[in-house]
Amino acid sequence: MTFDWSEYYKLSKELAGQTTGSSTEEARLRSAISRAYYAVFCTARNYWSVKENKPITRSGQEHGAVCDWFLSRSDHLSKDIGEHLDQLRRYRNKADYDDTFDRLHSDAKKALDRANQALHQLSKLK
C-alpha cells in the first residue's frame, strides 16, 4: 500500500503537543528511521569536521563525504561507523522517499540497533 505522506503532518502535530488525532504507526516508524539516521550522521559529521578541520556546509555532499571518510580510515572502529552510517542512510532514503516500504517493522528495528551501536562507537572516538 502506498504511504499517505500527509501522515507526517499528523505526526508533526503530535510531536509538537498539538494532537487532535493520532498519526499512523507507519508514519512513526518512518520518522524513527529518519531521526536515527540524523542522530548518527550529525554526530559523525561534527567529529569529521573537527578532525579534518572542514566547515559544516549543510550540503547534500556531506552525507557521502562523511560516510566515505569513516569507511576509508584504517581503524576497525571508524570502518564500522562508516558501515552503520551507510546502511542507515539507505534505510532513511527509503523511509523518506519511497511510497512503499516492505519490511518496515524489521528495518526500523535494525535502524535503531545500528544507530545505537554507531553512537556508542562514536563516543569511543572522542
Q: Where are the domains of the chain?
A: 24-125
Has residue 95 got a pLDDT over 80?
yes
Q: What is the mean pLDDT of the chain?
A: 92
Has residue 22 got a pLDDT over 80?
no
What average pLDDT does the segment 46-56 reach?
A: 93
Query: What is the CB neighbour count within 10 angstroms for residue 55?
Result: 7
Determine the Cα angle at 124 with ends 76 and 109, to 5°.
80
Has residue 45 got a pLDDT over 90?
yes
Q: What per-residue confidence (pLDDT) applies to 126?
A: 67
3-state secondary structure of 76: helix
Note whether 126 and 44 are within 8 A (CB): no
Note whether 86 and 71 are within 8 A (CB): yes
The upper half-sphere exposure of residue 2, i.e. CA atoms within 13 Å in the direction of its Cβ, equals: 4
Which one, of 24, 84, 4, lies nearest residue 92 by Cα?
84
Q: Residue 101 — φ and ψ, nearest 5°? A: -140, 95
Q: What per-residue confidence (pLDDT) applies to 21?
A: 67
Lowest mean pLDDT among 24-28, 79-83, 118-122: 24-28
Per cent of the chain over pLDDT 70 is: 96
Has residue 6 got a pLDDT over 80?
no
